[in-house]
Amino acid sequence: MKIRGLLLGLVALAALAGTLYWSNHHNNSDAVQASADAPPKILALNEADIVQVDLTKKDGSSIEMAKSQAGWQLTRPKLPADQQAISTLTGSLAALNSDRLVEDKSSDLAQYGLTQPALQVGIREKNGQTHTLLVGDETPAGNATFAALKGDPRVFTIASFAKSNLDKSPNDLRDKRLLTLQPDKVSRVELIANRQEIEFGRSQDSWQILKPRPLRADSSKVNDLVSKLTDAKMDFSGAPDERELARLFASGKPVSSVKLTDAASTQELQVHKSKDEYYVKSGVVPGVYKVASDVGQALDKRLEDFRDKKLFDFGYADPNAIQFHSGPATYSLTRSGDDWLVNGKKPDPASVSSFIEAVRNLAAIKFLESGTLHPEMDINVTSKEGKRAERVQIGKLGSEYVAQRENEPTLYELDTKVVDDLRAASNKLSAAPAAAKPK
């Protein structure tokens, strides 16, 4: 019995070993088969090693680009290069995958359109090694394109998007910026628009209107203008030829001219409008170009569009102290740590928040350049850890409420609602009831 049991165990062990062998052998065969069926790579290069790319099309036109220590340049035609656009192209080349292998050894490349390719891409690496990619006809289904490497008998297909990533024009690869300054480096803006000359100057992170006279500027709007201009690019979609562009600019209505200045240079842009399109001349690149409508609209502004309509500059930061007088009522708000005191007493925190928000919301609906204010309210705000003091008086001019900042001639006309909100918030500045003494 013992011998019989031993024999049965040996048989079972042998069967298990056979099963494991078959399983491993079968899995390895499957892996080899799967690897063989995977579409092979056409190119596997280190993108950083690519130093030159040439694109030659079937009509004989060509583009050449070369990399130096300063970055990529278009050498034919000779134009400043869009570094990101060329980087996208070289990235696509460096790891170019096929959709499938059509033939391992083709004897007739002409049937795939590869003897006179629609696009020929020459690549040179920094070690001097070169590669030439041939891109031929579309496949009969139209969802892929035949491709091959010069000197390699294999024929592949590549996806249509892969061809699009390589088939570029000079306009696709050129630097399309109309101004090349960095927005955060611009220190002065000179704008002529709507028969007004406006000049802005930057002091640290805030802008001031210098011309036609010193005025408070809405820094966010000036920053938006600078960003819009430094982001402005040539628009080649549906653009006419050079001669027609020049004619449209010359016959168009002048919209504005603008100069941006940083520590090193000044760059200028002139904008004209013809029908509903905007055309520009740049001092950085020769020629006339079409631009997106939002660029032209950003320049079609008046002085009032850039003025700061807020009466106080403390913005969203909490002030340090507020003195408020309205008729017989006087409130002195002082901050003590995280708490506020009103006339020396601890108030309802919600009432203080509402009052500060009402002061923060005081803004002009329009500006008045003449008139005499008869004050009904007086507000003094200290902020920026005591470094900034602002005073505003509010009163009636005829039937309208107006306000005036100390040492400024401008009158700010106010919406009646913001004044009513301020009065209502001030009426709630009552001190909290004193805590009961413990027994």
Within a domain: residue 40?
Answer: no
Within a domain: residue 27?
Answer: no
Range of 361's domain?
Answer: 321-427
Residue 192 above 50 pLDDT?
yes
Instruction: Tell me the C-alpha distance between 405 and 397, whole Å.
Output: 15
- Could you tell me if 328 and 412 lie in one domain? yes
- Tokens standing for 248? 């449209």
- Could you tell me if 167 and 51 lie in one domain? yes
Strand partners, 289: 280
Instruction: Tell me the C-alpha distance between 266 and 165, whole Å.
Output: 36
Query: Could you give the number of structural domains in the chain?
Result: 3
pTM given for the model: 0.79
Residue 23 above 70 pLDDT?
no
High-pLDDT (> 90) share of the chain, %? 79
Within a domain: residue 214?
Answer: yes
Residue 15 above 70 pLDDT?
no
Instruction: Tell me the C-alpha distance between 323 and 294, whole Å.
Output: 44
Within a domain: residue 434?
Answer: no
Reported as a single tens digit per residue, the pLDDT across 217-245 is 999 999 999 999 999 999 999 889 999 99
- Could you tell me if 196 and 277 lie in one domain? yes
CB 360 within 8 A of CB 352: no
- Could you tell me if 278 and 370 lie in one domain? no
Within a domain: residue 328?
Answer: yes
- Could you tell me if 167 and 256 lie in one domain? no
- The CA–CA distances, whole Å, from 290 to 225, 228, 229, 266, 329 equal 18, 15, 14, 22, 61
Reported as a single tens digit per residue, the pLDDT across 62-91 is 999 999 999 999 999 999 999 999 999 999
- Could you tell me if 330 and 370 lie in one domain? yes
- Could you tell me if 350 and 378 lie in one domain? yes
pLDDT grade for 204, boundaries at 50, 70 and 90:
confident
Q: Domain boundary at 306, 330, 359, which?
A: 306
- Could you tell me if 167 and 58 lie in one domain? yes
Q: Domain boundary at 137, 155, 173, which?
A: 173
Query: Amino acid identity, residue 70?
Result: A
Please give the full DSSP string across 274-315, using - where no structure is assigned.
ETTEEEEEESSSSSEEEE-HHHHHHHS--HHHHB--BS-S-T
Q: Domain boundary at 271, 306, 341, which?
A: 306
Within a domain: residue 189?
Answer: yes
Report the CATH number at residue 195. Answer: 2.60.40
Within a domain: residue 5?
Answer: no
Reported as a single tens digit per residue, the pLDDT across 113-159 is 999 999 999 999 999 999 999 999 999 988 999 999 999 999 999 99
Please give the full DSSP string across 108-165, using - where no structure is assigned.
-GGGGT-SS-SEEEEEEETTS-EEEEEEEEEPTTSSEEEEEETT---EEEEEHHHHHH
Within a domain: residue 12?
Answer: no
